[in-house]
Chain A
Amino acid sequence: DAGVTQSPTHLIKTRGQQVTLRCSPKSGHDTVSWYQQALGQGPQFIFQYYEEEERQRGNFPDRFSGHQFPNYSSELNVNALLLGDSALYLCASSPLATSSYNEQFFGPGTRLTVL
């Protein structure tokens, strides 16, 4: 079982650019959540995808958008990058439809640096 995978591992961009991060969920999981984790902080919920639709959204601007594909993999897109977008971006998957509780399994994350 491959677990949750994310790509790329590290990424450096400049202000104003756009970035796409990718996530493949754990086998058997159909729900993907994205989090932003600044250094020394807990993860902040960005949004959650289920059945290819955004199911929940945290307090993030429209510059943050996402997509879920029929195979349950997901992308996070960030437009017009700001310095403050520098963070670890975590993807988590969960078997929402079949689980009694929302245990989430995290990928290794993508470290985004905006210069």
Chain B
Amino acid sequence: GQNIDQPTEMTATEGAIVQINCTYQTSGFNGLFWYQQHAGEAPTFLSYNVLDGLEEKGRFSSFLSRSKGYSYLLLKELQMKDSASYLCAVDSNYQLIWGAGTKLIIKP
């Protein structure tokens, strides 16, 4: 079967750093995406990894290890507006398989 696991909820402090982990088991792999979704809104694209290593984009970075079926999203200098759900999704034979999302709560 196809499975993506990520923590249900995480809490962090404004200005701090948080790492959201994602592990996956899928029949195919054409890349891994991270999306941000605010409550009641559509997901918006954050990052894409297809090769092992770290991709940095401003305050957000994403890491991939294909051999371990593992990725993480690193958010630095947290702001209150970063309170949202973060979804990990794997492109498995051109079909996106999604995790349930990690709800990130930012405290002042």
Contacts and interface: CB of A to CB of B under 8 A. Distances in A.
A72 interface: no
A96 to B, nearest CB: 7
A56 interface: yes
Interface in B15-41: 30-31, 33, 41
B30 A101 contact: yes
A103 B48 contact: yes
A40 B30 CA distance: 26
Given A42-B87, A101-B31, A102-B91, A108 B42 contact: yes
A86 interface: no
Nearest to A41: B100
Interface string B85-101: 00101010111111111
Interface residues of B, number: 23
B69 interface: no
A40 B100 contact: yes
A34 to B, nearest CB: 11
Interface string A21-43: 00000000000010100001111
B98 A96 contact: no
B50 interface: yes
A106 B42 contact: yes
Given A48-B95, A56-B94, A96-B94, A41 B101 contact: yes
Contact of A42 (B50, B95, B98): B98
B50 A101 contact: yes
A43 B98 contact: yes
Interface of B: 4, 30-31, 33, 41-45, 48, 50, 87, 89, 91, 93-101
